Structure 1
Amino acid sequence: MTRFWTGGYGSDMDGEADGIGFLSVDEGRGPSTLRYRGVAAEAVSPSWLAQHPTLDVVYAALEGAGTVRAFARAGEASLRPLGPALAAGESVCHLAVSPDGRMLVASCYGDGRVVAYGIADDGNLVEPVQDKAAALRAALFGDSDAAENVDTPDLGGESGDAARVSRAHSAVFLPDRRIATADLGLDLVRIRRRDLSIDHDVELPRGTGPRHMVLHPSGHLHVVTEYSCEVFTLASDREGRWGLVSATTASEVAQIGFDFPAELAMSRDGHTLYTALRGSNTVAALRVRGGGETLEPLALAESGVDWPRHHLVHDGTLLVAGQRSDSVSVIDLDERTGAPRDVRHTTPAPTPTRILLAR
């Protein structure tokens, strides 16, 4: 049996999920047997889930409560809390675990916080080791001790413009142990040191809204934008400074202001990227060209769900979480080109926002 955990919105965020859900596929019978089997662990709006790299431990962002919590597997279809929920920030929406399993980074859309936690030997979370947003607020509003050695970003626009608001939305661990974070509100990809202090920023065009990122095997970082329906490609120079190398529309027929890309996923061979367009409820595929620095639109297909918030590449298919349709669809991928094809199967699931392959 192949198992998946699902994150979702609960009653505090106008959703129907009662906690972390459980999906499974019958061994040897294919993706058409995908079914929602019930609640694996009660939790309030666990909108994002992340897996420990070596332990059977899952981390949940409890978005409405602004907290994060660790869960350990207790059976084939169940999880149990591993320690208490810890404070993160307003509308915590994304979690990333370091490859060595010693650190978790939470991104908070509501207040722009990026918070890091230590991870104990058993996978439990340790109180935050840094909260750069708190230190930044101290720097701006008058606590000199807390503000020491804090990099202060430009929080506003040009003279006469309304100040923009920081909206941290995701993080990716880079091979050199630095961390890239996407700030949807400030149109920045921030390159941070291990302590979360800012090494440097990569500025994207204003109003693009960088949301989620994928690190390509070539070393390039691909970034999907929620507002401009694009995928930007970043690369690092010999001195370790990142910059923009290309930009590609997510789909040639995407409608800015109507379509809002969500997740960005990559095929196992790295040749194809997939993003889902909330609005038209479609899935767009992009072909990776050259040495990873160039993308081009490949195909567009129906997602089979309403408001496709997250998707996962698995076993020649794409699993798509439909937040507003309370369902998960299975889309066949062309074996030769990687292009999305027909919707093979759909199963009910309560307000899904994340699909995670279980260990």
Structure 2
Amino acid sequence: MTAGQELIFYIGTYGSEEENRIHWGAMDRGTGELRLLGGTAGIENPTYLDFDDSISVLYAASEKGESDVSAYSANLVNGELTLLNVQSTGSSGACHVSRTSSGKYLLTTGYSDGHISVLALEKDGRVGEITSKIKHSGRGLRDDRQSEAHPHSIFEDLLNQYIVVSDLGMDDVNLYRLEDGKLVTHREISLPPGSGPRHVAFHPSGKWVYGTNELNSTVTAYANDATFGDLKILQHISTLPEDVVMDSNTSSHLLVSPCGRYLYASNRGHDSIVQYVIDQEAGTLRAVNWVSSGGKTPRHFNILPDGFLLAANQDNGLIASYRIDPDTGNLVSTGYTLEVTRPVCICPVEKAKA
């Protein structure tokens, strides 16, 4: 592979700061072949990454007791990272990080202590001070996983109107307005008891939102009411085949294809990625295919340019490469894998487009 034919991507992992925890790899844009380029130590449990391609800065949430977020300047030729700064999130167990479209704010969730935080961003990408912090309070049905609030992800919606927070512990999806860097409570959408909402993905039309529910292995389809700032539940659908009963399974990540025709979600336990067809009139889902995730415990995956998907299998350390069939959306294994210890996030430097 030559550099011009490759796409650089970053890999977040679980582990101590003494060893390389953020790795960078390259994918051949024609074949999906993968190779490891390098890595950096000095950060504990960088379990979620976000890349700002406008200034080539990578953000990494450090999921630990007193969490922080790190900003790195990225060399797009070889993937090398240079630390810009580290800033406390004011929370514990920060497991997600994302940015607002304005580039002014960084958003994080503290899974362990229930806090969600907003931090200012400098023009050069450095992370500034906390501008807002809210603590979720409540619980869900299950004593083992829902005895308290556990915000798991935080995103700005595609219309840049609301901040969407999935709280696994409370069985709620919370909508906030962001006013001058301050979070303002707007609306709360309740899921069936024991659902455990984890992540959301937005349809490129802006009309629909989809969310994985970790604890009951389902995906919820929502109609996005942009006028009143509400998510109307359209459907709950299993992430598992009809003939499979697996109480130990937990659903994890999900993404809408850039073309808007398909949704993918990962199963940990069944160790698969399910493909749904999205009804282009109603926004509802129909499951059409399951493929092996290529390893064990696919916590995360991402869609890369040129029609590829990479799945991060946490428990056996394999990143598996798939080609997305342009006609059917089916995932076809390329046969290429990459071995990295406990990979849990894939973050390319370039976004996939329709």
How many angstroms apart in 2 are the aligned matches of 1:43 and 1:335? Answer: 38
Amino acid at match of 1:116: V
TM-score where L is the length of structure 1: 0.86
How many angstroms apart in 2 are the aligned matches of 1:341 and 1:156? Answer: 40
2:312 to 309, 321, 326: 321
Q: Which has the larger radius of gyration?
A: 1
- The answer to whether structure 1 residue 46 and structure 2 residue 46 are counterparts is yes
Amino acid at match of 1:47: T
1:250 to 227, 232, 239: 239
**Over aligned residue pairs, what C-alpha RMSD do you find?**
2.3
- The answer to whether structure 1 residue 7 and structure 2 residue 12 are counterparts is yes
1:171 to 133, 147, 154: 154
Task: Name 1:68's counterpart in structure 2.
Answer: 69
Contact between 1:218 and 1:291, CA under 8 Å: does it hold in 2? no
- The answer to whether structure 1 residue 342 and structure 2 residue 333 are counterparts is yes
Contact between 1:17 and 1:351, CA under 8 Å: does it hold in 2? no
How many angstroms apart in 2 are the aligned matches of 1:350 and 1:236? Answer: 38
| Runs of at least 5 residues in structure 1 that lack an aligned partner in the other structure | 137-152
1:296 to 276, 286, 300: 286
Task: Name 2:133's counterpart in structure 1.
Answer: 131
1:190 to 169, 174, 179: 174
- The answer to whether structure 1 residue 205 and structure 2 residue 189 are counterparts is no
How many angstroms apart in 2 are the aligned matches of 1:334 and 1:351? Answer: 28
How far apart are 1:90 and its partner, in Å?
A: 1.3
How far apart are 1:26 and its partner, in Å?
A: 4.0
Q: Deviations over 1:276-317 (max 9, x none)?
A: 111121111111113352011010011111111111112322
1:229 to 193, 207, 217: 217
> What is the aligned length?
333
How many angstroms apart in 2 are the aligned matches of 1:248 and 1:163? Answer: 21
1:251–1:280 distance in 2 versus 1, CA, 3 Å: closer
Contact between 2:101 and 2:160, CA under 8 Å: does it hold in 1? no
Task: Name 2:296's counterpart in structure 1.
Answer: 306
Moved over 4 A (4+): none
1:23 to 22, 25, 35: 25
How many angstroms apart in 1 are the aligned matches of 2:164 and 2:79? Answer: 33
Contact between 2:14 and 2:44, CA under 8 Å: does it hold in 1? yes
- The answer to whether structure 1 residue 87 and structure 2 residue 89 are counterparts is yes
TM-score where L is the length of structure 2: 0.88
Task: Name 1:102's counterpart in structure 2.
Answer: 104
1:279–1:343 distance in 2 versus 1, CA, 3 Å: farther
Contact between 1:156 and 1:164, CA under 8 Å: does it hold in 2? yes
| Runs of at least 5 residues in structure 2 that lack an aligned partner in the other structure | 1-5
Identity %: 26
Q: Secondary structure at the match of 2:85?
A: coil
Q: Secondary structure at the match of 2:189?
A: strand
Contact between 2:271 and 2:295, CA under 8 Å: does it hold in 1? yes
How many angstroms apart in 2 are the aligned matches of 1:352 and 1:163? Answer: 25
Contact between 1:251 and 1:297, CA under 8 Å: does it hold in 2? no
